[in-house]
Amino acid sequence: MRSLVNISMGVAAAGLAALATVSLLTSCGPRGNNPNVEIIQDMMESPAIKAQEYDESSPHHSGMRVPPEHTVPVGFEAYRYATDPEGAAKNLKNPYAGKMDPETLLVGQKYFETNCAVCHGFKGEGGEAAKSVVSGKMALKPPSLLSDKVKGWPDGHVFHVITMGQGVMGPYASHVPQQYRWQVVNYIRFLEKRDGK
């Protein structure tokens, strides 16, 4: 009887010691570059697949998945005037209309000088006058953005040309993100105003 009690006490003590060790190990947080001790590995190693990796379970064996049909990313706004410049000119309202503060213009200037000046010139004066390396080699010189024609366009029309391109000019929708496109329009308005003085 006595030896039985002894044994059970021994088992209990061993159990307690094991528990203490486990709690000691798991309570130690990561120190510097030393990761935690992994007792149960379960989800420690993420099975995430990188975008360019081969994926056995994907329909096209590509790590990148095609978004489900009829879905759009959060915050995405479809452009409804893709084939309708007149509709864009008439219906798109510039949320920054008339704003010529430095904050607005600096954003516009950044995107204009990065994407447009190479052809239309830093002052928007157009290919021939801009004498840029690119426009010098183009058969159809990029037109001036200071013309009465562009000055007379509603802001939505300029927005449309940036989004969809025009004739031989390609679209710049992916270069000038939607949220900065109106600032580029305002910057062109600023260049036009300065030209008129």
Q: Which residues contact ligand HEC (rule: CB under 6 A)?
A: 115-116, 118-120, 134, 140, 142-143, 145, 147, 149-150, 158, 161-162, 166-169, 172, 176, 184
Instruction: Name which of 142 and 154 has its Cβ closer to ligand HEC.
Output: 142
Instruction: Count CB atoms within 10 A of the CB of residue 35.
Output: 9
**Nearest distance from C-beta of residue 166 to ligand HEC, angstroms:** 5
The dihedral built from the CA positions of residue 48, 51, 56 and 57, taken in this order, carries a sign that is positive
Q: Please answer whether residues 193 and 101 qualify as being in contact, where contact means their C-beta atoms are separated by less than 8 angstroms.
A: no
**Nearest distance from C-beta of residue 28 to ligand HEC, angstroms:** 55
Residue with tokens 């036009």: 192
Instruction: Name which of 10 and 136 has its Cβ closer to ligand HEC.
Output: 136
Token duo for residue 61: 């064996």
Which residue number is nearest to ligand HEC in terms of Cβ? 167
**Nearest distance from C-beta of residue 76 to ligand HEC, angstroms:** 20
Q: Please answer whether residues 150 and 192 qualify as being in contact, where contact means their C-beta atoms are separated by less than 8 angstroms.
A: yes
Instruction: Name which of 36 and 114 has its Cβ closer to ligand HEC.
Output: 114
Angle CA 43–48–53, to nearest 5: 150
**Nearest distance from C-beta of residue 112 to ligand HEC, angstroms:** 6
